[in-house]
Structure formats: structure tokens, C-alpha cells
Amino acid sequence: MDFMVSLLLRWIFSEKHPVTGAKYAAIAFVQLLMNAAQARDYVESVSGFDPGLPNVDTLFWRLDGCASFDRILQEYKKVVKRNIEAVKGQIRRRRFIIAIDETHEPFYGKIKNLWIHDYTNGVKGATGSYKYIVVSIVSGDLRFILLAIPIPKISMENDYYVKELLVFVKSLIPIEIVLLDRGFYAWGVIKVLQELKLGYIILVPKYTKFKKWLKKGARLHEHQGKLNRDRTTYKISTYIAVLPDYKGFDWVFATNIKYDKIFRYVRHYKKRWGIETTFRVHDEVKIKTKSSKPMIRFALFVFECMLYNVWQFFKGRVPFRRFVNILFRRSIIKAAVFAAIEILKEKGILRDKNPPPDEIYEGIIEKFGYIDGVSLHQAC
């Protein structure tokens, strides 16, 4: 919880709305979001759950007045950089496989803005969605959300966002391969990957030319194209790896890597599905809101990403949703303990010379802090 507070502190307090004299501390805002994450409910619905926490209007006023897309991105980058530096010595891998993909957050309102896409992904009641491009580590069982960028409906080409993601990731860790799905197959993206000198495997739509190559059997083909950008024409080349009827599917990839066996492209590409698993697990603690302000939506999405990354340090001990429940229950226990202490003080059973409430609470957690066999003290 203290770690989550340190992450959110810069967002909700600024020179305009400083922490000095603030009615609520940063931990109160974090706990409000934790309550919504645990309940998988709207922040608006849970804001009255604990009278000691700020209401949703106060939270959104803070975010709206103190945060911005650029500030959230910069602070998130700082946090991820600190985390990666802290664990580098514990990770034996010299190079990492990363994946880039897009994810959508359903929108149910009637009034749309320039950040709401028409895509609904078949979600019942949804009228559109917010879109984010995300980059994540997918090496082995490592899953870490390195960065997310919000995408407006009228946006730049994908290569613009891919470059921003990869320049940041490359500054953090050595990259072995970048994996992308067919939605990112474009000469602009390939140009960015080649300029950054990164190995890549991109699933390619089965265009007519590639279907003809599939009929000729598994092999690697040279492929060339042109990119018109800023009044300049760039000639770009890549390899197209085709593998017909491998495990019931015809595979076509764009790549700059030469493997001795074509099926190795499939084996490596399948690691990209790790980012889809990340999205699925991430959604287990979806924080909902009725706000249509894109910056507030993005702030809540990034908070979920941070929560997911924190859980990665405990992965294997408890599932993600249970981890969030533990944090939630710990806050409820703390509120109950503090309330009981105040009652005992009023009745004269506890006196001022007794240990402060924080010490009493930690002592209780140390001695009895087990829920469903998981130590609250150790897990938190």
C-alpha cells in the first residue's frame, strides 16, 4: 500500500493543489481506488463505502487539476525504470522478448469525445471504447507492463506510437525480439524496428501474393516495399516467412531474423499471447467509472497497470484478484482496529501511555494476520 501511495502521490498533489493543508492524504485516494478494484465496480459506487475516504468528486477534481496525459506517462516511466533497476540483478536473462498490442476499455455512454473509438469488441451495452497501445515483457513466465499510451480516434500512424514505446523500453532492458500481431504490419512499423536495430516477428495478413507463396511450401522470401512519409519515399525490405498447414494453420510472418527451421517463427510468435494473458488478468480488477474524461480514464487504467506490476513481485504466492482482496481486507481490519482502540480509550480501558494505534495494529497483524492461509504481514 505504501508503494502504491508513492506511485500516485505526484498525480494528485501539485503546486496548484499541494499536499500541505490537504484534507486527505495520498493513501486515502489510493484506498478509494483499491476499494473499486476489489469490488470491480464504479468508483462512484464505492466512494461512500468508507466515510474516512474522499468522495469520487474530490478524487476526480484532484486528477483533473493535477494530472495530464504527459505527466502520467512521465511518472509511469519513472516508476517502471526504478522497478526494473531494482530487479535487474535478480533476473538472469540477458535479453528480453517483448510484445506490443492494443487493448480496449468499453464505454457505455451516449455522448462521445475524440478519444472514444467505435469499436465495442462485442461487449453488451458498450457504445464504443477507449484504446491503449501497450508494451509488455513476455519472456518465459515474466510479465511486466512497461508502458501504455492512450490513442485518440484521430491518431498518428502506428509506427509513431511503436517508436515511443520501443525507445523507452530499449533504454531499460536489452531486447531479444519484438512480437506484434497483424494489426501492426505496416512499412512504417518495419522501418522503425530496423532503425532501432531490433529483431522482430510480425504476423502478416494473407494477401494474394503471400497465398501464392504458401502454395510453394515453407520457406523464407525476400519482400520489398515503399513508404511515403514527409514528402520522402523510403525503400524498405524484409523477409516473409511462410509455413503452410502447421498445426492446422497457415502462418505468414514479416521478420528480419533468419532461423534454420521455419517452425521456429511460430514457436517464438506464440510467446506474444502472453500479453493477451496479461490483459485478461489485468481485467480481473477493472476499476470502472462513469466519467467520460479521457485523462481520468487513462489515470485509472495506469493505476491498474501499476497494481498488476506490484502483484508480479508476489506471483506464485497468490492469484492476482486474491492479492487485491488481501490488500482490501487489510484496510478493513485496520479501520476496525482503529475504531476499537478509540472506543476502548473513551471507556478508559486504554490510556495515552499505551502504544500508539499503529503499533497495536501491526502487533495484531503480526500475531493473527492470516486470511485463507495467507499472511497479511508477509503479503503486504
On whether the CB atoms of residues 129 and 121 are closer than 8 A, the answer is: yes
C-alpha 156/C-alpha 195 separation (Å) is: 19
The pLDDT > 70 percentage for the chain reads 80
Could you give the CA distance from residue 276 to residue 151 in angstroms, rounded to a whole number? 18
| pLDDT(374) > 50 | no
Full DSSP string of 154-168: S---HHHHHHHHHHH
Burial of residue 4 (number of CB atoms within 10 Å: 0-12, 13-18, 19+): buried
Give me the CATH code for the 89-291 domain, please. 3.90.350.10
Least confident of 13-27, 100-114, 153-167: 13-27
pLDDT in tens, 36-50: 887 778 888 888 777
Q: Give the Cα separation of 84 and 69 in Å (integer).
A: 22
DSSP classification of residue 119: -
Number of separate helices (H) and strands (E) present in the chain: 14, 11
* Residue 371 clears pLDDT 50, i.e. is over it: no
State the angle between helix axes of 2-12 and 294-312 in degrees (0 to 180), rounded to the nearest 10. Answer: 160
Asked whether residue 153 carries a pLDDT value surpassing 60, the answer given is yes
- Residue 7 φ then ψ, to 5°: -75, -40
Asked whether residue 369 carries a pLDDT value surpassing 50, the answer given is no
pLDDT interval class at 192 (50, 70, 90):
very high
Average pLDDT over all residues of the chain: 83
For residues 26-43, average pLDDT:
83
E strands in 213-322:
219-229, 232-246, 249-255
Q: Is the pTM of this model over 0.75?
A: yes
Comparing CA positions, the residue from 169, 154, 150, 180 lying closest to residue 301 is 150
* CA distance linking residue 349 with residue 377, whole number of Å: 27
96-110, 192-206, 279-293, range with the lowest pLDDT: 279-293
| Per-residue model confidence (pLDDT) at position 185 | 96
